[in-house]
Amino acid sequence: MAAKIIASPIREFILIALIAGAFSFSYFFPDYRLPVLLAALLGSLATFWQAFRVLLFERRVSIETFNSAALIVSFVTAEFSSAAFIALMLLFAELLEWNTRTRSSRAIEELLKLKPLKAFREKGGEKEEVLAEDIEKGDVIVVESGSRIPVDGVVIFGGASVNESSVTGESLPAQKTIGDKVFGSTLNESGILKVRAERVGKESTLERMVELMKKAAENKSRPEKIADKFAALFLPVVALAGAATYFLSGNVSMTVAIFLVACADDIAVAIPLAMTAAIGRAAKRGVIIKGGEWLDVLSKMRTLVLDKTGTLTYGVFSVRDVKIEPGVSENEFWQSAAVAEKFSEHAVARAIFREAMKRVGEIPDPDEFKVYGGSGVIAKHGNNEIVIGDESILVPAGISESAIKDKYKDLFAAGRAKAYAFLNKKLIGAFVLDDIPRPEAAESVKKLTDIGVKRIIMFTGDNPRVAADVARALGIKEFRASMSPEEKLLALEAVEEESGPVGMVGDGINDAPALARANIGIAMGGTGTAVAVEAADAIILPDDLGRISEIILLGRKTLSVIKGDIVIWFFSNAIGFALVFSGVFGPALAAFYNFITDFLPLINSARLFREK
């Protein structure tokens, strides 16, 4: 029911028992109608209050208004049995709603069960058992086969097959090795890992997922908006039909029967039921949708704006290519680079270190190292001096510029950042780095086009050359570059005026205004900032762009089911009206007919729970 949550079904069970008892009493004592009247009144109070509250405070017609009209007609005409039937139907509807809403609570409970209570932390070369809640950012966690990973982090040693279905929805385990990210609550099925904790406590993916599901469950008003639109459209039609019947025939019973047949308590539940099922399906695939209204928007959306950095790309530098000098082994090259960059926090250094870890395993600490801000690093390990950096590192390292003259021009043309590597002042190779597109990005863009998203635009604060390269690589025809957050917002508004409902996909703080302004904002939740996640209406936790087309199709499927509910209601009412006008149905049979046909749209909506 609109804007209403049932904390416990006890009241509904008591009222159902009371109405059932009143009907039993009236069967044996048909002349005593007071018990049925009292039971009907008690069962109707919640519906009357909701209708009154919405009319008074929100000044609009809701589905409760529709149902209240049928109840009032029954009471005024002394058709107390009919009123009791309607009240009984609405109570059953509330029980069904309670059941669907508690699915969210049960889902949250199941998620929390995945959180391990204890973990093994490595400290000073020793392994100690600690409470999972005591793990801090930067701690090294040892995860053995059969154990769940307690926090989000990055693998620094080992390899394992990890079941990530609790977060990503993927049934097949993912192979994790050094440098890969892992999520808390996921299961290490085989192998051993050492994980450096990056997100702990409330920042972890599991905790964020639970919090988002709670907020989605609390978002009560949105799923019912379609039902209220339905009520606003059909209530005047039914009222006119009832009035016309009375003025043309003068038959009060027939008029009452019309209102009883048309009572729309089934639609009041069927629409939220369909949306609850769809939101649950999305959650199983790692997508949190904050309310049923957004499924409606997704179904109508034909224009999508995609942020580049962190959405279409990883948002961090990655090694795009390397050049190793003749006579230098790969192991020597990567080992030297890893030792030098191990403790540097610069984005280029972290990218080189991540790539090196994948190739050489555990990395010894440098004996000495010094970071030259914006230039590079000079490190010593044993008898070796290692230098990593751009041209500006040469002077502090005491290396002649001739060592790099005319070197690697073709290599450096392919990326946005570069770094030379020297061992004992001898050039051993170079790196080129870039914020590279996600591997699924091009296929995801193609899929969006295939399902009917007619206009896809890339927004970025990056320069036009980089933007053009990424757009071309991903098959995106439209892009806007060098944009500030304000410019993104203004451009989004212009796109909406040109093309209608528009979705925005982003991950950063600078995307938050546009995410909040879009008809639907979608955040990449795995790497996204808390601000972006809060501003968005849907969150993709696995950072998989392919989920965007999935939820668009889910929105269309959900709206198709809802339209089916309305068609079922329309035709069942048409049959009911025919039976009323032919004299077959009086008020009591009309109410009973409505009660029986209530289940048809509910069964239709429940299909979304079963479909894969």
Q: Could you give the residue numbers annotated as active site?
A: 307
Separation between Cα atoms, residue 607 and residue 571, nearest integer Å: 20
Q: At 395, which helix (H) or strand (E)?
A: helix 394-397
Contact 19, 244 (CB under 8 A): no
Taking residue 7's Cβ as centre, other Cβ atoms within 10 Å add up to 8
Q: At 506, which helix (H) or strand (E)?
A: strand 502-506
Angle of CA points 112, 118, 119, to nearest 5°: 115
Separation between Cα atoms, residue 512 and residue 306, nearest integer Å: 13
Separation between Cα atoms, residue 462 and residue 452, nearest integer Å: 28
Contact 177, 163 (CB under 8 A): no
Separation between Cα atoms, residue 171 and residue 174, nearest integer Å: 9
Cα-Cα-Cα-Cα dihedral sign, residues 515, 541, 311, 305: negative
Angle of CA points 395, 396, 399, to nearest 5°: 50
CB contact burial 313-347 (16+ within 10 A = b; e otherwise): bbbebebbebbeeeebeeebbbbbbbbbbbebebe
Taking each helix axis from N to C end, the angle separating 225-249 and 546-581, rounded to the nearest 10 degrees, works out to 10
